[in-house]
Structure 1
């Protein structure tokens, strides 16, 4: 099983939207590297949902419920893909970007190295460490 982080603007589509639908298509990704990460997602993989914008923080956990398929929003047929995510649970408390930046154990995260990516892998250690921070 792999671990992932997806970023979203909560004003456009946030954690609460995914929770209210229980399961939804994660589409609209228009970066080639992020698209390739979507293609690497497998059913059952765990995904952290990160709110970008004003409140930069990891807020919830989802699970990949359907592997990549053609993005229905790809009107030009350029090969973009989407996945289906199912909401699992909200973190006990959000883990902010500032907290993440302050942790030596997380210093190699792609979130810090390539901050513009909207989909990125996490190591199992990074995933577990963020969960531990959420429990504090």
Structure 2
């Protein structure tokens, strides 16, 4: 109902006449997140929507090649295998913190091979499962999928000698089998290894002829 047409406005001379044009609805900017209807918030949100806006996480996974090697990972079904057998509580906590599509450095440990050899991505987040898998019966696991091999394997000695990697958890906690990797550390290690297959670095290497 327009205020100018209400009877009390016509009968009371103390109120000045108000033009209907004075009242105009202004369209509120739809981009303002504080002006959403509550009904819209009740719609179910997909996992992808929940993950949007979260920064990608990076990790390092250690394995002895005699137990589970890069070649074993590549030869697994679709390059996907479960990563289990992690007993250390801190390493388990890191494993449980992984999200889908997080990237992980695949690291060969042991006396004869201590080097970053490839990259895998998280294909399934932490889940509880009984004994089994290549790791020898852990309390839970994540699934990881092959992304690509490093173009040049990066030796542990090279990591230790790089000043940009001081403070890297792998060097501070050498016995930890699942290690968080800061974004700048990830970029530096990839730089040392010339990148990895599947990172887009192989595309359009040259104009070529014919």
Tell me which interval the TM-score lies in, with the shorter structure as reference length: over 0.9
Scaled by the length of structure 1, the TM-score of the pair is 0.93
Of structures 1 and 2, the larger Rg is shown by: 2
Is residue 24–residue 86 contact of structure 1 (8 Å, CA) maintained in 2?
yes
Q: Hey, what does 2:69 align to over in structure 1? A: 14
Q: Which runs of 4+ in 1 moved over 6 A?
A: none
Q: Deviations over 1:44-77 (max 9, x none)?
A: 0000000001110000000000000014328xxx
Structure 2 regions of 5+ residues with no counterpart? Answer: 1-55, 133-137, 196-210
Q: Distance in 2 between matches of 1:135 and 1:114?
A: 25
Task: Give the secondary structure class of the aligned counterpart of 1:112.
Answer: helix
Partner of 1:55: 113
Structure 1 residue 81: deviation in Å? 2.1
Count of matched residue pairs: 132
1:2 deviates by 0.1
Give the counterpart of 2:99 among 38, 42, 45.
42
C-alpha RMSD of the superposition? 1.4
Is it true that 1:5 corresponds to 2:60 in the alignment? yes
More strand by share: 1
Q: Structure 1: where are the runs of 5+ without partners?
A: none
Residue 65 in structure 1 maps to residue 120 in structure 2:
no
